[in-house]
Structure 1
């Protein structure tokens, strides 16, 4: 399964008081560090971190990442989207590769019209 998630702290904590600008980059860094240490395939962009694995292992990583962010505020917001497709793996890159191939095919087709 693939799980894309975004975690952000809210409220106050000693750590959030040290950051008067309100940026959440330190909290996000803590969450991404948990994901990377998990050893599961993952990618992070400006909005979400996506992780691939079996249900229990992925959800355990999301839980630990959420706990890491919890140190930065009295509340945590978690947005999660999952693609559950039993029997498939390497979809973190496979889905993107298939999309890029489809774009190239469309561009080639449009070039011959």
Structure 2
């Protein structure tokens, strides 16, 4: 299963509005978790079982709630039990389809 999520504090003391220092704390949780993942400019995608992925997302939320009274969290999931390697597999299949055009 794949879980793409975006998380950030809704408030910041930074004059430029940056939340990168807070988001870095959440990504550190992801990296420590041992769950397969990929982070890009807008989302982090986890690949694993429901309970392990949701536990990581919950811990990220708790880390940000410890420093901000409000946190924004968006989750999108591709629930295909039994599938593995989809972080790369989906992209490989897409590229193969593009090559066929």
Q: Which interval holds the TM-score relative to the shorter structure?
A: over 0.9
Structure with the bigger percentage of helix: 1
Q: TM (normalized to structure 2)?
A: 0.93
In the alignment of these two chains, the number of paired residues is 101
Q: Highest Rg: 1 or 2?
A: 1
Separation of aligned partners in 1, 2:82 and 2:48: 11
Equivalent position SS for 1:86: coil
Structure 1: tracts of 5 or more residues without a match? 107-113
Structure 2: tracts of 5 or more residues without a match? none
Give the corresponding residue for 1:45.
40
Alignment of 1:1-113 (within 5 A): 1-11=1-11, 16-17=12-13, 19-106=14-101
Runs of 4+ in 1 over 6 A off after TM superposition: none
* Root mean square deviation, CA, Å: 1.1
Equivalent position SS for 1:4: strand
Deviation at 1:21, TM superposition (A): 1.9
Deviation at 1:69, TM superposition (A): 1.7
